[in-house]
Amino acid sequence: MINPQRTSAGREWAEISVRVAVYSGEGGPEVTEISASNPRSATIKFTRFVMERVRESRGRVPEEAVREVIENLVHAGYRGVVISVLEGGNKVRVSDRGPGIADKRRALEFGFSGATPEALREIRGVGAGLGIARAAAEKMGGTVTVEDNLGGGTVVTIAAASLQGEEGEAGENAAAKGGGRATKRYPDGVPRLDISERQQRVLITVLECGEVGPSTVAEMLEISVSTAYRDLLSLEENGLVFSDESGKRLISPLGRDYVEALIDTWVK
């Protein structure tokens, strides 16, 4: 029986199920169906299961990239998800039957997020979507590619360094066309700034949402509106965000580079 589970965002989720297919190179894949009660537990459980299969195969796909791609499945509503472990654990392919991604090249840019406010509440604090997965893979010499799934949906493939070949060339071509990270305005490192961990989360929320006010930040991070206002003001004083004509805050060039430097410290 599938029982609805209510999350902190107020949405009811039926039990989330995905199939994991492990290809050993001989015969058909070993397919396992696993389930979780909500998006947050799904990310933890599915990532752990997939990485156990990767390590058993002695593969080198980075866990950070796998986790971010799996977390991103919330946008597809976890519809028709199949996670395949291929090439001795050196390739992980995640396919879904969701609405798809219209601008796949931009989806890999650092800081791009197509998340709805509802989805952001479910995956609060994650960072900047598939850009983080790409950063994790590239740090180890690998790649992340995004394609349309046959019949609708999206396929995201994470390849370790040993499988550069075709995928590596595709990644280089995408970067050459503008699909890579934006050029840093502070190539020697962003200035040292005295901002708290909570203010870092506020800054990431601004990056993800595009433009926000104190009430949006308060709702997303479950803090008071007055605290959100003070944090946004502090970020503005440090040059990390700026105000538009309506009083909403947007991320500045320095703020974008600061978040990228921060996320780089998360990637092992």
Phi, psi of 200 (to 5 degrees): -65, -40
pTM over 0.75: no
Query: Distance (Å, rounded) from C-alpha 48 to C-alpha 53?
Result: 9
User: Do strands 154-159 and 143-148 pair parallel, antiparallel, or not at all (unpaired)?
Assistant: antiparallel
**Model confidence pLDDT, tens digit, residues 6-33:** 444 445 556 899 999 999 877 789 999 9
Q: How far is CA 145 from CA 41, 136, 172, 218, 267, in A?
A: 25, 13, 11, 34, 18
Distance CA 93, CA 83 (A): 6
Question: Is a pLDDT exceeding 60 seen at residue 108?
Answer: yes
Instruction: Tell me how far apart the alpha carbons of residues 184 and 253 are, in angstroms, rounded to a whole number.
Output: 8
**CATH numbers and ranges of domains, the chain:** 5-179 (3.30.565.60), 197-266 (1.10.10.10)
Identify the three-state secondary structure at position 54: helix
Taking alpha carbons only, the member of 126, 119, 156 closest to residue 266 is: 126
HSE, CB side, 13 Å, CA atoms: give it for residue 229.
5
pLDDT in tens, 175-225: 333 344 444 555 556 677 888 989 988 998 888 777 889 998 898 888 999
Give the dihedral of Cα atoms 160, 166, 133, 110; nearest 10 deg.
140
